[in-house]
């Protein structure tokens, strides 16, 4: 009598398996040892780190005699501008050996030079319009359709100093270090050493809002001049919805302001791995807007101090560069050799 089940092999091995020496192989490739469980062949995960490298596609050379301080792409997607202290050149992205000089402030005699170009940017949607700032605290709006050499401006934005307020430092602290158009192109944000200013492109009588950034350093201008900190160039940025503006400061902090009535500060954060909110209040004293070109480099030993509100500051650590995401509520800040990302 056959005692084996009808569906089992006569040699006693499991159904659907084959014998291989002293072990059996299952249909799915596993090895079944006598009296044991199959040893499964699992996939092996290997990690391959992606290495990103920037390749130089073109070099746009031999068009500037001084250090380039600004580069801005045009909304037409075909051209961009580069600016140095005295000239702004217009380039075509596909032509690297030729540019057109569209702004030139170099005088015939360099001894007559009174101001330099500090920043330049194209309008976000009007390809014929650009703005550039100067060391005298002014912003000029230029229309490229007027002439090949835009030696005249269509609009001039500047804030005149109050009578009797001029001092040795007024021209230095009025120098604009950065300008940015708002996303809709209606406003221009400018940064000088002491303040942030918001300008309406349709109103050149004065800024629509002024935000105090370094007012607590006003009593220290002599020390800042001695250690060269007064010449630091801080950038500025504006949120995509145009409701907030931000800029950097010393001690690796950056400050965010509301653009609404009163210009109340939203928050002050330190760019570090463990960010902390700081409560910094500035006096309501109005900032002076003046203009400068002269720069004498001196070095002093004092880099730290305490402001009028008891907040410490360190002049050796500074947050000069930052950018706001065009659509997200995200700020990128560069402090020393690190890049930090914050949700504003």
Tens-place pLDDT, residues 56-76? 989 999 899 999 999 999 999
Cβ contacts of 110 within 8 Å, gap of 6 or more:
none
- Angle CA(283)–CA(188)–CA(162) in degrees, nearest 5? 45
Q: Rounded mean pLDDT of 141-148?
A: 90
Dump pLDDT digits (tens) for 13-34.
Answer: 444 444 444 555 655 555 555 6
Pair of tokens at residue 87 = 């000239």
Strand order in the sheet with 236-238: 236-238, 244-248, 253-258, 265-270
Please state, as a whole number, how many other Cβ atoms lie within 10 Å of the Cβ of residue 340: 19
Q: Using one digit for the tens of pLDDT, what is the confidence trace for 320-343?
A: 999 999 999 899 999 988 999 988
pLDDT at 306: 57
Question: Bridge partners of 254?
Answer: 248, 269
User: What is the value of pTM for the model shown?
Assistant: 0.75
Q: What is the pLDDT of residue 5?
A: 47
Residues in the chain: 344
Give the distance between the most distant pair of CA atoms in the chain.
124
Domains of the chain by start residue, with CATH: 60-158 (2.120.10.30), 201-271+309-343 (no CATH)
3-state secondary structure at position 169? coil
Residue 31 has a pLDDT of 58
Q: What is the pLDDT of residues 215-237, one digit of tens each?
A: 999 999 999 999 999 999 999 99
């Amino acid at each position: 009598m056959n005692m084996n089940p009808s569906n089992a092999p006569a040699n006693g091995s499991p159904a659907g398996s084959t014998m291989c020496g002293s072990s059996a192989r299952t249909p799915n490739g596993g090895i079944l040892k006598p009296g044991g469980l199959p040893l499964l062949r699992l996939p092996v995960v290997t990690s391959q780190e992606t290495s990103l490298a920037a390749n130089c596609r073109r070099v746009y050379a031999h068009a500037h005699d001084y250090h380039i301080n600004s580069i801005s792409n045009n909304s037409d997607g075909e051209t961009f501008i580069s600016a140095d202290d005295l000239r702004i050149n217009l380039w075509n992205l596909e032509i690297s050996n030729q540019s057109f000089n569209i702004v030139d402030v170099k005088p015939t005699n360099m001894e007559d030079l009174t101001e330099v170009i500090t920043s330049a940017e194209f309008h976000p949607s009007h390809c014929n319009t650009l703005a550039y700032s100067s060391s005298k605290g002014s912003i000029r709006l230029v229309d490229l359709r007027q002439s090949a050499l835009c030696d005249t401006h269509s609009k001039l934005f500047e804030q005149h100093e109050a009578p009797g307020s001029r001092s040795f430092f007024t021209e230095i602290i009025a120098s604009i270090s950065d300008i940015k158009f708002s996303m809709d192109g209606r406003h221009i944000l400018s940064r000088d050493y002491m303040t942030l200013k918001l300008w309406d492109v349709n109103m050149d009588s004065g800024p629509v809002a002024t935000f105090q950034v370094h007012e607590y350093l006003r009593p220290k201008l002599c020390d800042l001049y001695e250690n060269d900190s007064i010449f630091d160039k801080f950038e500025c940025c504006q949120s995509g919805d145009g409701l907030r503006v931000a800029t950097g400061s010393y001690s690796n902090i950056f400050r965010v302001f509301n653009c609404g009535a009163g210009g109340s500060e939203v928050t002050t954060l330190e760019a570090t791995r463990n960010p902390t909110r700081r409560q910094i209040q500035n006096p309501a004293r109005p900032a002076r807007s003046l203009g400068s070109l002269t720069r004498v480099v001196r070095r002093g030993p004092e880099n730290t101090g305490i402001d009028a509100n008891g907040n410490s500051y360190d002049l050796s650590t500074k947050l000069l560069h930052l950018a706001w995401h065009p659509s997200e509520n995200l700020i990128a800040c560069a402090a020393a050799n690190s890049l930090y990302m914050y949700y504003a």
